[in-house]
């Protein structure tokens, strides 16, 4: 199930069997068993398999280390992002805790992995929630931006990713003025307007090209 969750497109049975270290016959038997138990796995021998979106793994599938990773990630989000994301992280953690068996819930509540306090993030004029919504909707943003040297410029950008660093938040976007990829610090944006116009390329395609051209993985 974990292997299937990592892939958006059908994966050949032979590739799954090889990754799991089992025979193809065993793999087919196990997939049939999972399908009988209600797992939404589509496909057939020779065609490949894919897990339909929306299927949730039972809470019993979490190991103690996976729970610690979830708690640690939630605590980092609470400290180093904005209020809306911090609240969402806390809500997600509460939902997970509510359905965990008692022994695993105790592990979650007693996690001793802590996030050290960092330098205060520079304040932003813009609402980061608005930027995330623009990315999801693939809308252009009109910015009034001031660079490191204090020079002000007006930009139209296609935002497709956000970077959260210990000392700042960065928007990754295609800049129409520069006709290239650019990075914009959120704390240097003086004004922002969300356009009704969708940018012509999907955010996933932009992210893929940005990774290929910049070497960011």
144: CATH? 2.30.30
| pLDDT attached to residue 146 | 94
With respect to residue 102, please indicate whether it lies within any of the assigned structural domains: yes
Among the candidates 34, 51, 68, a domain finishes at 51
With respect to residue 73, please indicate whether it lies within any of the assigned structural domains: yes
With respect to residue 147, please indicate whether it lies within any of the assigned structural domains: yes
pLDDT at 58 over 70: no
149 and 191 belong to one structural domain: yes
Six-digit token string for 91:
């809500």
| pLDDT attached to residue 92 | 81
| pLDDT attached to residue 157 | 97
Placement of tokens 């996690």 in the chain: 111
Q: Are 70 and 105 in contact (CB under 8 A)?
A: no
With respect to residue 114, please indicate whether it lies within any of the assigned structural domains: no
Average the pLDDT over 99-128 and give the result: 79
Average the pLDDT over 182-203 and give the result: 95
204 and 141 belong to one structural domain: yes
Question: Residue 39 sits in a domain of what CATH number?
Answer: 1.10.10.10
207 and 135 belong to one structural domain: yes
With respect to residue 117, please indicate whether it lies within any of the assigned structural domains: no
With respect to residue 118, please indicate whether it lies within any of the assigned structural domains: no
The number of distinct structural domains making up the chain is 3
Placement of tokens 């599938």 in the chain: 61
Among the candidates 51, 70, 88, a domain finishes at 51
Q: How far apart are CA 94 and CA 112, in angstroms?
A: 17
Question: Which range marks the domain in which residue 25 is found?
Answer: 2-51
207 and 134 belong to one structural domain: yes
With respect to residue 184, please indicate whether it lies within any of the assigned structural domains: yes
Distances (CA, A) of 144 to 58, 141, 159, 190: 47, 10, 15, 5
Distances (CA, A) of 2 to 51, 56, 196: 10, 11, 38
Lowest mean pLDDT segment, chosen from 35-39, 123-127, 139-143, 152-156: 35-39
With respect to residue 166, please indicate whether it lies within any of the assigned structural domains: yes
């Amino acid at each position: 199930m974990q292997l299937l969750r990592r892939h958006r497109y059908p994966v050949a049975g032979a590739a799954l069997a090889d990754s799991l270290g089992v025979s193809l016959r065993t793999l087919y038997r196990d997939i049939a068993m999972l399908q009988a138990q209600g797992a939404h796995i589509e496909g057939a021998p020779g065609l490949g398999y894919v897990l339909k979106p929306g299927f949730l793994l039972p809470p019993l599938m979490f190991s103690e280390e996976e729970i610690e990773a979830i708690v640690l990630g939630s605590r980092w989000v609470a400290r180093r992002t904005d209020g809306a994301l911090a609240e969402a992280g806390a809500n997600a953690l509460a939902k997970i805790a509510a359905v965990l068996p008692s022994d695993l819930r105790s592990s979650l509540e007693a996690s001793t992995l802590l996030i050290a306090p960092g330098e205060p993030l520079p304040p932003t004029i813009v609402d980061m929630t608005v930027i995330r919504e623009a990315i999801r909707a693939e809308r252009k943003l009109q910015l009034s931006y001031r660079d490191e040297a204090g020079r002000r410029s007006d930009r139209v950008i296609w935002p497709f990713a956000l970077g959260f660093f210990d000392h700042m938040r960065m928007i990754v976007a295609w800049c129409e003025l520069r006709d290239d990829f650019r990075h914009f610090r959120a704390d240097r944006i003086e004004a922002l307007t969300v356009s009704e116009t969708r940018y012509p390329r999907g955010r996933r395609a932009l992210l893929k090209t940005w990774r290929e051209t910049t070497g960011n993985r």
